[in-house]
Chain A
């Protein structure tokens, strides 16, 4: 980032604006949902209750992020880049999510190997040996986890 740029913020949003925007939305939603998400049963105790600390940190977070967004208007943002790069990130995230969702039906080996294979493809790997590596790693991890570490993998 540099201050000599044309400015960022809402005019030319990048990663910082996107992240700060998401944080602000989440913080404000959490403040809004505070009473419904935290039930307080009063027993006449003095001092803060279960809502006090979350309320304080959420308002502080919302204020700090709002300040960051305002200050970011003068600072060049980290660009989002072309959509294919973001597409690769989404592909890895979606394939991992799919692997987790499918793990209950198809087991750890199939899910983990599938996710690893997609990661390899997305990262531009085309050599058969390196494309086969996720299968080998998933097999070793599944076998070692179940029999070596006694972990009840799905």
Chain B
């Protein structure tokens, strides 16, 4: 299988897609305010006419490139291009101020690649066995699994639990619109055929992440980057021996990134700060952290890149997205006929392994292009998002239309944009909404199928060892969350 998948990669278009994705990702990530989620959502329509493998490789390349690109503005300007680069900025900017910006960026690049390779290997090792295990899941097991995923997002996603719960419920309510999954009855369709298909994922994503950004910038037109001077970049090298000394930090950070990434809804910012704090607590010169410690750059970068592979494990094996970016990637998989879930590996194993190998091998061009581009990307950090927002608005209209070639989807995109603007201004988190939208309908379907099977009896949810295990996990999560809250309240 691995060799056959590798043969699939021997295609010029895959290479072109990987290179184009990584370069555009580095550039987009380097512009403060533009993140990988928006970039991928806007690029999905561009991939419509492409084969599935180059299409997904392009989007994953954007993701990889954007995470590294985010560290460029974090290190040089102290303005994180992506939220997960905020931890990198602490020591990266301090290094840049003392003339070691080039060294900090090289460290960030090598740590990013290490994290990516580590998480890719974990993804290749875990995703298929997990999917094979999930083949035994019936409706009751799937319902409990999705309930557990939704609960994890609410309890451990960071921020206010009540806000996360509200957003999950908003997503689930949006998922209700359309035809009932069991009886086919129209629900909240206002007697319109257009509503019967429900809200399509891609227009909603484009609205929430791209159109809402346009509206946010219209509301708050202050420049994200001032006229601060970029510290000079001196020639520098990072030797292998230096990286070898950091091997434990890189390994621990990548492990944290990968396994936190597997949990739904947590994203890459939390593991980046967890790894930073762990690296500081383990360091013999902990007082150097915050003043330009190289490990303070390497740890968060390894962690936030490792999240990619980790978050793809439940996304591909179970159809449960790990964070907002993987929810967008899940949408891209579905559009290309590769429906994530237990059957993905059985029906499209070759394509999926080719994509895994491409993700692993794209570390090579990431290093080469990263080293080539970070001097150019310094100028990119100066671009104000407002110069690009008219183009983003046009691409958002085009992207939403091109999903089904109907204007209704563009209206949905605009509505999602306005709601996204209100939610983001009100500090309501968007990832729980997205995951609620994706999981709401299949959760209801599994729940009702299970209850139809049992004749309406709820004991079906505690009959099999898998459901009992999942119910136990649900109660354990609640107990852990409650304990953490009580500790926090006492402190």
Contacts and interface: CB of A to CB of B under 8 A. Distances in A.
A15 B163 CA distance: 14
B389 A64 contact: no
Given A50-B185, A85-B219, A112 B398 contact: yes
Contacts of B398: 108, 112, 141, 145, 153
Q: Which 7 A-B pairs have the closest CB atoms?
A: A46-B456, A47-B451, A116-B390, A50-B180, A61-B169, A47-B456, A123-B386
B221 A124 contact: yes
Contact of A149 (B48, B172, B391, B448): B48
A123 B173 contact: no
Interface string A73-87: 000001001000110
Contact of B448 (A47, A103, A115): A47
Interface residues of B, number: 65
A9 interface: no
Interface of A: 1, 15-16, 18-20, 22-23, 27, 30, 33, 37-41, 45-50, 52-54, 57-58, 60-61, 64-65, 67-68, 71, 78, 81, 85-86, 88-89, 91-93, 96-97, 99-100, 103-104, 108, 111-113, 115-117, 119-120, 122-125, 130, 133-134, 137-138, 141, 145, 148-154
A120 B455 CA distance: 59
B187 interface: yes
Contact of A15 (B169, B188, B426): B426
Nearest to A39: B185
Given A15-B425, A93-B215, A117 B390 contact: yes
B217 interface: yes
B51 to A, nearest CB: 14
B369 interface: no
Contacts of A152: 405
SS of A interface (majority): helix
A27 B407 CA distance: 26
B214 interface: yes
A49 B183 contact: yes
Contact of A53 (B407, B426, B448): B448
Given A18-B422, A123-B386, A100 B188 contact: no
Contacts of B417: 93
B85 to A, nearest CB: 24
29 contacts: A16-B428, A22-B422, A23-B166, A23-B170, A37-B190, A38-B186, A38-B188, A41-B185, A46-B451, A47-B454, A48-B447, A50-B180, A50-B182, A50-B187, A54-B187, A57-B176, A89-B215, A89-B421, A93-B215, A100-B411, A108-B401, A112-B394, A116-B393, A123-B218, A123-B389, A123-B390, A145-B402, A151-B45, A153-B401
